[in-house]
Amino acid sequence: MTAKNKVETRGFETEAKQLLHLMIHSLYSNREIFLRELISNASDAADKLRFEALSTPGLLEATPELKVQIDCDSEKGVISVSDNGIGMNRAEVISHLGTIAKSGTANFLETLSGDQQKDSQLIGQFGVGFYSAFIVSDEVEVLTRKAGDKEDQAVLWKSSGEADYSIEAAVKPERGTTVTLHLKKEAVEFAEPYRLRGIVKKYADHISIPVLMEKAETPQEQESDGEKAEAASTEKEYETVNMAKALWTRPRKELKADEYKEFYKHVSHDFEEPLEWSHNQVEGKLEYTSLLYVPSRAPFDLWNRDAARGLKLYVQRVFIMDDAEQFLPLYLRFIKGIVDSNDISLNVSREILQKDPVVDSMRSALTKRALGMLQKLRKKDSEKYTEFWKEFGQVLKEGPAEDFANKEKVAGLLQFTTTASEGDEQDRGLTEYVSAMAEDQDKIYFLVADSLKAARTSPHLEIFRKKGIEVILMYDRIDEWLMGYLQDFDGKQLQDIARGELDLGKLENKEDKAKQKKVEKELKGLLERAKDVLGDKVQEVRLTHRLTDSPACLAVGEHDMGEQMRKIMQASGQEVPASKPIFELNPDHPLVEKLDSEADEERFGDLIGVLFDQAALAEGRELDDPGEYSRRMNKLLLELCQ
């Protein structure tokens, strides 16, 4: 054996081994998807070759017609799926088949529960791909030669899907890849031609290249034993078993929901069905077809803003690239699908694509199309939209900052928990809030807190509960940042009820305002004494009329950074601009009334200190000196016990 033909054994990476084990043991009820995945990979390989051949026609060699071919032997329990696409060289085989390079694999594996049924559903969020072959196979062989390489530069890869795989040099006359599956005993049914044909029709009718199988005999065509033996020595006759026409090129009226769903699985390599889709053909100044999908589950790399994303791009049915990110903004990175244009030059590159004014126009239109699809889903099926929101809501909240032109549309898709919500459901949109506003209410009120519980118990809500005014409760990490870019909606200003001085406008009557001014004059001395005690801990001490039950609270300055945003910046190691809270006292609270008459300055200082620290705790802030707070509380408790 020459060095050239030496067999090398290599181990799978740890994450690959874990995922392979899951694939083999958890997808027992969905085994047939292995063929969908292999055909999909073959179709991708054909697309990539077609694109490369635009600049290097010689890659097509003597076989320009691209195809997928399926052969089976029911007696031996063997299936082979062959394509004459781009193929792989040795380095690519090791990269693609020996490792799982998809971002988020580690996070995916951490979420596994050990429950096969639950874990099999999680696979849909990751994608199954080539490894699904091991669901039905004891051993898998991959013989491949990259287009443009010589016959003796092929590679043979073998594995039983356990700890390792072997790789060796091989000879392959034709370019492309052949995947051979040696089926498990319990999976030999898949080697039957009728079974394979049914799966191809179910999952691959939309593939734009033909999927070929040996021509089936009708009873009338069956030959005698002698004639069969003679026919066996001749070449097999193949026929196309799928429609072999790109789904997006067909009229919408012809297409069934199941066809759209299967095409989504092909495009996204997702295991689950999409929530919604939009198929649209544009004619006029621009001519293109788009097919956009909203997934059911978030992928594990959703929060990696640098991960591959975007639509599959075709130009005049010719595949160009997998992740054309230029057609949708980053906050819509969860949208899957394709766009096929007649107006982009075929010699595109990523650089040209970024600068092309046609792409800018298409991006604007496709963004509106995607947002319109979400608006339609929200209007027609609130339950499905709630599912969508749980998976992608926080990503959508990036929209108002990134897409000023569509800020109002994105805002109309946002969901929140409010003081009128039951439980913790984020079931209220800004549109619903505005429609339910009180007659004299001219602002949309909201509160940002660290958690829903903290928001619901915030003292800032007291006056709103008393007056029956709904308040939006925000507790996602991104919320304060979001509200920095969303100042109004439907002509109504959004107001943080914990920021600046509270102005309820027409919701307050003249008598209340007159009373407030009178009290402020009467308690001016109390405010000055409190400011002297607290010193530089606060920027101001003032009276408030936002409280009904609590003696005090902390407010944020009109232009200061909120507590939630400060914590996020500190956690990421960024410098946080210095700011001090505003300490507000409730003049109607008995404790505050007694404070005004407290002559003992030391006791006054202890009481003010305790009130300030309690207000800080209610806001979710950390105390500067927890020990001093405990000392003061113990001292006051002892006085009560005497």
pLDDT at residue 104, as a whole number: 46
Domain 248-385 sits in CATH 3.10.620.30? no
- Here the tokens at position 170 are 């091989």
Q: What is the pLDDT of residues 558-607, one digit of tens each?
A: 877 777 777 777 777 777 777 789 999 999 899 988 888 888 888 899 99
Q: What is the pLDDT of residues 335-375, one digit of tens each?
A: 999 999 888 875 555 556 667 788 889 999 999 999 999 99
87 in Cβ contact with 93 (< 8 Å): no
% of the chain at pLDDT higher than 90? 43
- Here the tokens at position 439 are 């007659």
Q: What is the pLDDT of residues 374-422, one digit of tens each?
A: 999 999 998 999 999 999 999 999 999 999 999 999 999 999 999 988 7
Mean pLDDT of 281-303: 88
- Here the tokens at position 578 are 């210095």
334 in Cβ contact with 395 (< 8 Å): yes
Q: What is the pLDDT of residues 51-70, one digit of tens each?
A: 889 889 999 988 889 999 99
Which amino acid makes up residue 103? S
533 in Cβ contact with 604 (< 8 Å): yes
Highest mean pLDDT among 107-111, 141-145, 421-425: 141-145
> Phi, psi at residue 541, to the nearest 5°?
-120, 130
Confidence of residue 642 (pLDDT cuts 50, 70, 90): low
Question: Does the pLDDT value for residue 328 go beyond 50?
Answer: yes
Q: What is the pLDDT of residues 508-545, one digit of tens each?
A: 777 777 777 888 888 888 999 999 999 989 989 999 88
- Here the tokens at position 434 are 């505005």
Q: Greater confidence, 52 or 426?
A: 52
Question: Which residues lie closer than 8 Å to 273 by C-beta, 6 or more apart?
Answer: 261, 264, 265, 296
Question: Does the pLDDT value for residue 43 go beyond 70?
Answer: yes
Q: In what order do the strands lie in the sheet with 276-282?
A: 276-282, 288-294, 336-341, 311-315, 318-324
**Fold classification of 414-507 (topology level):** Rossmann fold (3.40.50)
d(CA 191, CA 171) in angstroms, rounded, equals: 26
pLDDT at residue 234, as a whole number: 59
E runs forming strands in 184-271: 211-214, 238-240
pLDDT at residue 2, as a whole number: 41
127 in Cβ contact with 108 (< 8 Å): no
Could you give the C-alpha distances from 454 to 123, 460, 497, 566, 620, in angstroms and in order? 35, 11, 14, 17, 7
Measuring CA to CA, which residue among 426, 444, 436, 428 is closest to residue 490?
Answer: 444
Mean pLDDT of 552-560: 86
How many of the other CB atoms lie within 10 Å of CB of 114? 7
Mean pLDDT of 63-83: 94
Question: Does the pLDDT value for residue 114 go beyond 70?
Answer: no
% of the chain at pLDDT higher than 70? 86
Measuring CA to CA, which residue among 453, 457, 435, 433 is closest to residue 445?
Answer: 433
How many of the other CB atoms lie within 10 Å of CB of 402? 14
Which amino acid makes up residue 47? D
pLDDT at residue 162, as a whole number: 79
> Phi, psi at residue 162, to the nearest 5°?
-115, -115
Domain 510-641 sits in CATH 3.40.30.10? no
174 in Cβ contact with 145 (< 8 Å): yes
pLDDT at residue 579, as a whole number: 79
Q: Greater confidence, 439 or 175?
A: 175
Question: Does the pLDDT value for residue 102 go beyond 50?
Answer: no
d(CA 339, CA 316) in angstroms, rounded, equals: 10
CA dihedral angle for residue 229, residue 230, residue 235, residue 236, rounded to 10 degrees: -40
**Which residue ranges make up each domain of the chain?**
3-218+234-243, 248-385, 414-507, 510-641
211 in Cβ contact with 82 (< 8 Å): no
Measuring CA to CA, which residue among 449, 502, 447 is closest to residue 472?
Answer: 447
Question: Which position has the token pair 């181990």?
Answer: 11
End-to-end CA distance of the chain: 98
Question: Which class is 3-218+234-243 in CATH?
Answer: alpha beta
Confidence of residue 477 (pLDDT cuts 50, 70, 90): confident
Q: Is 317 left (phi over 0), alpha (psi -120 to 50) or beta?
A: left
Could you give the C-alpha distances from 403 to 79, 349, 477, in angstroms and in order? 50, 25, 20
